[in-house]
Every structure is written in structure tokens, then in C-alpha cells.
């Protein structure tokens, strides 16, 4: 049976999806863009600030489901400009200091709300 995960400490979904779903020991976190959960608005700032906000949002969802960053096994990073990859990587790496998860990164034409980055995550217990 799947379990819907929701926390007020991360942005509410901006469409017909859940923040995360847990099933069979896996947690699937929907793509997170840099929305401030307190305001519901995209934060201002460049790629480093936006990546940090996304990772904090992911952290709150992980915590709400009883997981930690160390439980993350896969991430997909979507960037509106691949020139931002090195700076995104710098911030991202602060959250996965040991045994980082598998990952893919793609450049895309546009992201929701004009975000510079979106990250989706799979974690496992």
C-alpha cells in the first residue's frame, strides 16, 4: 500500500501530485523547485541559492517520512542552463558528503515558475 507524505515545512504541490510517496521501503520525492514553503513563492537568487533551497525542501520531506540524506539512492537534477552545473554541484555536494547517490543531470528548456533548477529524489531504507 502506498503512503502519501506531506509536510508544511516543504512547498505544497503546485499541481495534481504529492510531495512524496512511500511504498515498499522506497520514498519517491516529486521534483522540487526553489519555493519558500513559508511564502509559497519562488525564491530570488542565483543557482547556488536556488539549489540550497531545493535541497532544504528535500530534507524536510525526507525528515517527514523518517528518512535522511544518507538514505537517498538516486537524484535527477534538471537545470535551465547547463552552465550552472558546476555551481549547482558545489552546493549539492554539501548535502551528500559520503557515499553520494547515483545521479543524472539534464539541461532543459524551461522549468516551472521560471526556476533555475528542479531535483527529484528516490530514497530507500
DSSP lists the bridge partners of residue 123 as 27, 72
pLDDT digits (tens, 9 = 90+) for 1-24: 999 999 999 999 988 999 999 999
pLDDT digits (tens, 9 = 90+) for 61-105: 999 999 999 999 999 999 999 999 999 999 999 999 999 999 999
Q: Would you say 79 and 117 are in contact if contact means Cβ atoms under 8 Å apart?
A: yes
Residue with cell 522540487: 32
pLDDT digits (tens, 9 = 90+) for 51-63: 999 999 999 999 9
Pick the CATH number of 3-124 from 3.10.180.10, 2.40.50.420, 3.30.1330.40, 3.30.1200.10: 3.30.1330.40
Distance CA 68, CA 41 (A): 25
DSSP letter at 101?
Answer: P
Amino acid at each position: 500500500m502506498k503512503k502519501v507524505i506531506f509536510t508544511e515545512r516543504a512547498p505544497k504541490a503546485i499541481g495534481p501530485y504529492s510531495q512524496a510517496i512511500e511504498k515498499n521501503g522506497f520514498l519517491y520525492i516529486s521534483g522540487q523547485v526553489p519555493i519558500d514553503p513559508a511564502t509559497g513563492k519562488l525564491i530570488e537568487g542565483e543557482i547556488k541559492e536556488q539549489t540550497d533551497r531545493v535541497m532544504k525542501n528535500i530534507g524536510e520531506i525526507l525528515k517527514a517520512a523518517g528518512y535522511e540524506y544518507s538514505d537517498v539512492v538516486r537524484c535527477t537534477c534538471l537545470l535551465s542552463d547547463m552552465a550552472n552545473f558546476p555551481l549547482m554541484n558545489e552546493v549539492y555536494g554539501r548535502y551528500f558528503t559520503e557515499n553520494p547517490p547515483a545521479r543524472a543531470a539534464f539541461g532543459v528548456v524551461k522549468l516551472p515558475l521560471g526556476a533555475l533548477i528542479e531535483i527529484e529524489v528516490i530514497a530507500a531504507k
